[in-house]
Amino acid sequence: MNKKLIGILIVLIIIFNSLTTLAATLSEKYYTKLKIGLVTMSSSNLNIKLNGAYFVNGNIVQSGTNIILSVINGKMYYNNSEVQFLDLKPINPENTLTINSSGKSYNYLGEFKFSLDGDKIIPINIIDIEDYLKGVVGYEMSNSYPIEALKSQAVAARNYALSNLEKHKNKSYDLCDDVCCQVYRGFDPSLKNVIKAVEDTKSVVLLYNSNIVSAYYSASNGGYTEASQNVWVQAIPYLVAQEDKFDKDYNWTSQFTSLKIDEILKSKNILTKDDKFLKIDINSIKKYESGRIQELNILYQDKDGVQRIKTFKKESARTFLNLRSSLYDITYNEKDDTYTFKGSGYGHGVGMSQIGARNRALNGHTYEQILIFYYKGTFLKTLLAKVKNIILNKNEILVGQNLILTSQAESGTGEYLYKYVIEKDGRTVYIRDFLADRQAIFTPFLEGNYVATVYIKDIKSSNNYDDKVSLSFKAFSSPKIKSISVGPEKLYVRKDIYIKTDILGGTSKDKVIGFEVFKGDRIVASKVSNSSAFSFIPYDEGEYIVRVRVKDSVSENDYDDIRELKFTVEKEPIVSRGGAAPVQQNIRLNISRNLRLRMMGTDVKLLQEALEKLGYFKYHTTTTYFGTITDKAVRDFQRDNGLKVDGIVGPATRNAIEIKLNNRNAISNIQVKNGAILLSYGMSGDEVKRLQSKLKQLGYFKYPSITGYFGSITESALKAFQKAKGLPQTGVLDSQTYKLLYN
């Protein structure tokens, strides 16, 4: 790795760490309760009514109590007792109190501290930022506005609060409740749209390059937003001048005589009492791209009779006459000495227009689209900690086994607490309260459907929780072996034996089923798979035991159930059928060594010929080389006959091939008068294919393909044919069945 690339990586790491730190710092501010100085409610006499129980200086005071605060001789009195301060904390966070001050009355959420500020008592509301915003948004924008407009106002107000926390750092509070900061009038439950807008955007802020945006806004921009440097000093990249087609209709007109202008300018101390306003120099006016006044001159005469010029720039071109905006044109009527101002918009025009936001929302814009239009290049971010994901080690689990829940949070300060609640049928069965450990373990003891919910909160959060996510899982009983069956009815040496098991219970996932066949202490056959059926060929007569194990694929056990069944294998008697000669089962493969891939010899050719007769070796000619085609034929034969699939022709595979060849030889020697061939369960070959094809043609054989193996499907099809023809339903192709089938 070259030095340049290493340098780039180091820079990227530094940037990432810086952004992460900025986000965490901002989240810490968000989780810190605000201190709002209610300067508009400060007075020498306050009446406070408790609408719920509160701790007052540590003592419980009941709902309905009235508290009188007053200032006498520079000291504060609480119900006629002198106090230095008064702290009020609600016992229930939903409790409110009502403050009456100088004819004004508002309800407030949160805690309060009352203390002296000069000769007045100032209430300081200590409150969560979201509850604070419920008392701001409805007084900056009408509750009747569309919800998306109110949401954009909520985000802008949240941004303003977080980016101006030090505005009153020389005071004992962060923000005031007046237009100096944002108008705040407490909690009004009737403002339902406002409350919904705040809750729907909870903790959402607007960022630019991961820094909090100063989300300035005004009532109307008159159809054109203004760049920040054209109103104040600093050029802010996301506060630009641009046309706003959704705010074109707010127009106004104001008229002033020269005498009135003189009066206003003196009241503002712009002119002294000895100065005299002469005129507005209309020809001196300069404008910005937006049409707002950049510069305007007035002429006046000082006390010495000297004519002088005073220049108004930027925002002062609006405020010098208390105009609604600086987006205006001036005309002068000399006859009546009157100046007419015809303008558009209301306020400075920087950032979001509240009327524009309303009109955009009415036209289907989301609050995100509204904000991104007014604050260029910005993006939204959630400061509140939230659940990134919740993972279950299993969504289906067995009763009595462990479910592991693991969650991950994001946003916030980066330190989180996790709580887990599990319900079954609406009843809580498990609670793991808030801990830093993001993992929980639950063991269900009843079958059924469950719902797991993770609650997360930032370590700095005072909320009950910041976010939650739920997901469901299901518990099942362990799988059980219902039965084991062995067939056919008569079990003979060197004949296929079929073992089947029925399983009850368990999850919907696969079951792992293991078969082991014992002859004495020796395992003579085994198989582990997802199949409930198994076959093998016995080589000795006597008593056998089959042991079946079942395990659900999600189980933590070695096995979930185990059962055994004994059965007896006999030598097959030599039987003469239909006058035919006794069956001679004397085919032997002249192979004395174990054959495998890449061997050569005449015994390989003999093996290929045997497999060709059984339908496995499908090359156009036999050879003396054991190649991949022979290997595949051997493996296919082993797989079909329940043998170990390794491609090696050892004693077990060789004996199985001999048995299959002898079965075919027996078939060819069992003749009846009409030349029919006797076929039965477990046989294979071309004659079985012929039988299946005929049964399929007649509509009895339903399997999609012709296999050449006489299994349960072929047997059932043959029985159905025999039943239809009034024959004994043996499932064996005898001479009588053959005659009706083929003739």
Residues 551 and 166: their CA atoms lie apart, in Å, by 65
Q: Are residues 401 and 267 in the same domain?
A: no
Residues 568 and 543: their CA atoms lie apart, in Å, by 4
**Is the residue at 434 inside a domain?**
yes
| Residue 485: its H or E element | strand 480-487
Q: Are residues 55 and 177 in the same domain?
A: yes
Q: Are residues 52 and 148 in the same domain?
A: yes
Other CB atoms within 10 A of residue 86 CB: 20
Domain extent at residue 8: 1-31
Q: Are residues 16 and 91 in the same domain?
A: no
Q: Are residues 501 and 525 in the same domain?
A: yes
Nearest alpha carbon to residue 299 among 340, 258, 341, 343: 258
Residues 29 and 552: their CA atoms lie apart, in Å, by 51
Nearest alpha carbon to residue 569 among 536, 602, 591: 536
Using only the alpha carbons of the chain, give its radius of gyration. 46
C-alpha 489 chain-centroid distance: 57
Residues 47 and 438: their CA atoms lie apart, in Å, by 48
- Write out pLDDT tens, residues 256-276: 999 999 999 999 999 999 999
> Is residue 11 scored above 70 in pLDDT?
no
Token readout for 17 is: 């760490």
Residue 703: helix, strand or coil by DSSP? coil
**Is the residue at 355 inside a domain?**
no
pLDDT value of position 585? 46
Nearest alpha carbon to residue 433 among 414, 452, 456, 411: 456
- Write out pLDDT tens, residues 504-540: 999 999 999 999 999 999 999 999 999 999 999 999 9
Task: Please report, rounded to a whole number, the percentage of residues in the chain having pLDDT higher than 90.
Answer: 74
pLDDT value of position 4? 54
Residue finishing a domain among 310, 344, 378? 344
CATH code for position 691: 1.10.101.10
Number of structural domains the chain divides into: 7
**Is the residue at 357 inside a domain?**
no
- Write out pLDDT tens, residues 382-411: 999 999 999 999 999 999 999 999 999 998
Q: Are residues 110 and 158 in the same domain?
A: yes
Residue finishing a domain among 189, 218, 236? 189
- The mean-pLDDT minimum among 135-149, 306-320, 347-361, 660-674 falls in 660-674
Token readout for 192 is: 């339902």
**Is the residue at 503 inside a domain?**
yes
> Is residue 255 scored above 60 in pLDDT?
yes
pLDDT value of position 2? 55
**Is the residue at 553 inside a domain?**
yes
527-533 contacts, C-beta under 8 A, 24 or more apart:
527/642, 532/500, 532/501, 532/502, 532/503, 533/498, 533/499, 533/500, 533/501
pLDDT value of position 210? 87
Residues 213 and 157: their CA atoms lie apart, in Å, by 11
> Is residue 124 scored above 90 in pLDDT?
yes
Task: Please report, rounded to a whole number, the percentage of residues in the chain having pLDDT higher than 70.
Answer: 92
- DSSP string covering 254-322, please? EEEEHHHHHHHHHHTTSS-TT-EEEEEEEEEEEE-TTS-EEEEEEEEE-TTS-EEEEEEETTHHHHTTT
pTM to 2 decimal places: 0.66
Q: Report how far apart the first and last C-alpha atoms of the chain are (Å, whole number).
A: 83
pLDDT value of position 624? 86
Q: Are residues 100 and 162 in the same domain?
A: yes
pLDDT value of position 664? 60
pLDDT value of position 729? 85
> Is residue 704 scored above 90 in pLDDT?
no
Q: Are residues 175 and 121 in the same domain?
A: yes
**Is the residue at 320 inside a domain?**
yes
Q: Are residues 509 and 652 in the same domain?
A: no
- Return phi, psi of residue 501, to 5°: -130, 145
Phi-psi region of 634 (alpha: psi -120 to 50; beta: other; left: phi over 0): alpha
Q: Are residues 20 and 41 in the same domain?
A: no
| 129-150 per-residue burial string, b: 16 or more CB within 10 A, e: under 16 | bbbbbbbbbbbbbbbebbebbb
pLDDT value of position 580? 39
Q: Are residues 63 and 179 in the same domain?
A: yes
Q: How confident is the model at residue 666 (pLDDT cuts 50, 70, 90)?
A: very low
> Is residue 675 scored above 80 in pLDDT?
no
pLDDT value of position 640? 86
Q: How confident is the model at residue 24 (pLDDT cuts 50, 70, 90)?
A: low
- The mean-pLDDT minimum among 100-104, 198-202, 686-690 falls in 686-690
pLDDT value of position 357? 98
> Is residue 698 scored above 50 in pLDDT?
yes
**Is the residue at 593 inside a domain?**
no
Q: Are residues 26 and 36 in the same domain?
A: no
- DSSP string covering 341-391, please? EEEE-BS---SEEHHHHHHHHHTT--HHHHHHHHSTT-EEEE-S-EEEEEE
Pick 285 or 743 by higher pLDDT. 285
As a whole number, the mean pLDDT across the chain is 90
Q: What is the largest CA-CA distance in the chain?
A: 152
Residue finishing a domain among 189, 207, 226? 189
Nearest alpha carbon to residue 617 among 597, 647, 637, 599: 637
Q: How confident is the model at residue 206 (pLDDT cuts 50, 70, 90)?
A: very high
**Is the residue at 130 inside a domain?**
yes
Mean pLDDT, to the nearest integer, of 445-465? 94
